[in-house]
Amino acid sequence: MKISDILQERKDPFLSFEIIPPARGRSAREIYEIIDELIEFKPPFIDVTSHAADSYFIEQDNGTFTRHIKRKRPGTIGLCAAIKYRYQLEAVPHLLCQGFTKQETEDALIELNYLGIDNVLAIRGDQLQYQKAHPMGREANEHALDLVKQISNMNRGKYLEDILDADESDFCIGVGGYPEKHPDAPSKNADIRYLKKKVDAGAQYIVTQMFFHNQDYYDFVAQCREAGITVPIIPGIKLVTRKTQLRSLPHAFSVNIPDELVKSLELAETSHERAEIGIKHALEQCEDLLNNGVECLHFYIMQDVRLVKQVARLLNIS
């Protein structure tokens, strides 16, 4: 079932989740254990992230640095298939521009189509330190807009090569939105204009980056509607329960954390106290969103599935 249809047909609010494939060499069992814990909330879909190859540096004893290539994290397509048929849930694989050629993207879309996976999230992905060399004659999508256009073309039976009587795919395309502005956008208005282009190109729903001030989300939705964007806009929720996140989340995702939340977490003496503070903030945030008519809350799951479950249970949504 398409996410756009789920959003249109569901009468009551619901939860969805985003998970990360296990690291190379790890078993899918750890992902199944996470989903087993989340299944009680009856999510109609689960997102699975994708990761390209990247580089990192290791300092040597002599003070020099050596560069190493970290291979891409595999498993997105396989996990999506497992989720769909093991749990009878819709799975939404993330497709990236960064680190993948258009040909690799087309191959992935064909495999997903064969597997009966009807939904994809098209995003640019983080800027990479490692840029792999593309074989001669191959190129990558530079922006998410280009990726949306490629998927939309396949939905019309138009592939990278001219294929006579090619079958049309039927993917529901989601894209990302940034309530606090994409870090590379020159302004909020420019960011909204670019988002509108993605919707005009075929995107059918938007999932936002995590945010911690609900007013940022409300303002973002209002700007989108004013710009003529009418597709559903799903808010992304992330729990902040550790001191390290006060620096890592703003650095990695260009988000602002409320001063009162920062102060509370910094003053807390134990991990239990910090968890309680993060749960309280997320719960208040979610309740306010629901009271203002939001139909879906999308939780970003990392190491905090146990804490997310506490919030979800307190929301009493199933």
What positions carry a catalytic annotation? 18
The owner of tokens 């890592």 is 248
Helices 305-315 & 29-38, crossing angle to 10 degrees? 20
The owner of tokens 């619901």 is 14
Rounded CA-CA distance 93/119 in Å is: 7
Rounded CA-CA distance 63/148 in Å is: 45
Rounded CA-CA distance 159/152 in Å is: 10
Tokens of 31: 């992902």
User: Do residues 149 and 202 touch, judged by C-beta distance below 8 A?
Assistant: yes
**Count of beta carbons in the 10 Å neighbourhood of residue 140:** 20
Residues forming a β-bridge with 234: 207
Identify the DSSP state of 157.
Answer: T
User: Do residues 27 and 69 touch, judged by C-beta distance below 8 A?
Assistant: no
- Return all residues near 103 (Cβ < 8 A) that are at least 6 apart: 138, 160
User: Do residues 90 and 45 touch, judged by C-beta distance below 8 A?
Assistant: yes
Phi, psi of 98 (to 5 degrees): -65, 125
